[in-house]
Structure 1
Amino acid sequence: MIQAKSTERPLSFFETTVEHPIPDLSNQHVQQRLCGFKLSATGTRALAGLVLIGVASFGIGLVTSPDQAWSSLLMSSFLLLSLGLSGLFFIAVSYLAGAGWYIAMRRIPEAMVSLIPAGALGVALVLIFHSSIYPWVAGHEGGELKGFKGYWLDYSFFLCRAVAYVAIWLLFAAFMLRNSRVQDRDGNLSHTKRNTVLSAFFIVAFSLSYWLASTDWIMTLEPHWYSTIFGVYNFSGLFSSGIAGMILIFIWLKRSSLWEASSMKNTCMISANCCLDSRHSGPISGSASIC
């Protein structure tokens, strides 16, 4: 007796036979659960105090040692800028890799992206109001340049490049974060595909622009010294400090009971249900989990 072969295929890892209802992310209860984070009054005062200390220290430095104060502002602003870019880089790599595990904590690198404007503002203040820290701008002895380096370090061209770098980073950040927020509302996987394409272009633009920016803003403080690996060195610092920053934020959220294990499990389920059809496989890279 010949038995008919079953036409059912084995389920893949991402498939399920159980119907999971897609939650309504516009529901007020769901929104409160996902977006209920609010910094305490004590935390707000502590951060405000740190900002005031920083501003006061910079003001004192302008009186006692102006060049050192502006140099410190440049380096600290470049650090903030690098931390923000590390968040955007992490998001882009995760999209390109089709990673699903990072969805539950994606809001951390997305929040870090907000450091880009702050860091860019600090760098702009230095380049506009105290560009004399660069010997080739101030015309100090030994600061005069010839050949290609002289053309490249023309002050007007230098400022135009700085604007272009920041504009590229902000545009990619705006479009990618916008797609992420819209996907939270409609759960449409097309936003993931758009961000994957944007991520591919961003990686190329970022690798070139960050290398040039670190060379322009940091290495030209010593215009007659150069290193062909300086951009790679700065990127390694960006990546390691960015990962460390995300880990510290995650630990703080866990210890502050702002990210409980049960909440994390629920938000992961919401992300999975929004991204997966109950009968068809697909990458878990859709709706983000926490705001």
Structure 2
Amino acid sequence: MSQSPTVQSIAHDTEVVFDNIGMTFDTGAGATRAVANVSGTIPEGKFVSVIGPSGCGKSTLLDMVGGLLKPTQGTVRINGEMVTGPRRDTAMVFQEDSTLHWRTVLDNVAFGLEVKGVSKAERYEMARRMTELVGLSGFEGHRPGQLSGGMKQRVAIARALALEPRVLLMDEPFGALDQQTRQFIGRELLRIWEKTRNRVLFITHDIQEAVYLSDEVWVMSARPSVVKEVVTIDLPRPRPEGTHALPRFRELEDHLWALVKVEAAKTLGPGAQLA
């Protein structure tokens, strides 16, 4: 079920490699060590979710992969190259609505390619393909104000996929959605991922979501965070209807909750008990 994080395959150029990374913030009132000594790999074509207690550094980890933060310790490498800033082969999807409200769906999806200098014909051809892939055909001319929250997130996913990233970084992208919508969008994300097979690093608080989507789930400890355990999700792919009801799904969910519960109690202080 589980394994220890490893960097034994660090020489493989097709992986995202974390080599003993850490992040310490200077808050002005002293140093805060958010992430400590994280090592591991995300192989090509794998979907990895990261869970852990609030404030444990999940988003910090993602920002270091995306080049938005530079580790104060260790290195992140993608395809053998050290990450020193944002990369063209990496795309991010955030929890907050990131659509440009004055642009149509198609214009939003094409925006990243426009910034990259791709010709108008090429970027709109790709934008149409990605809009169709995320199930928004017929909405190309709509503006974000005419869309639901779930549809806006599909626009954000399409915009990221249009860049054809080797690594897709997702920071609680469904966190603002209601439970029914996030389950629907989660199924849609898996459908899309089965076609693209990007490497995905997915941050979530939802353990069920992590089990359903992932090949591996990394459980982070309380701050300063390490990867406490890597849990392999040995459920069949593609994930059929009824996956949530499988006994193995329940076992994995219970195991992950037991790990998170211990770390969450640490962040709440002495005497904290979680059911």
Smaller-chain TM-score bracket? under 0.3
Q: Considering Cα pairs closer than 8 Å and 6+ residues apart, tell me whether 1 or 2 has the greater RCO.
A: 1
Q: More helix per residue: 1 or 2?
A: 1
Q: More strand per residue: 1 or 2?
A: 2
Instruction: State which structure, 1 or 2, has the greater radius of gyration over its C-alpha atoms.
Output: 1
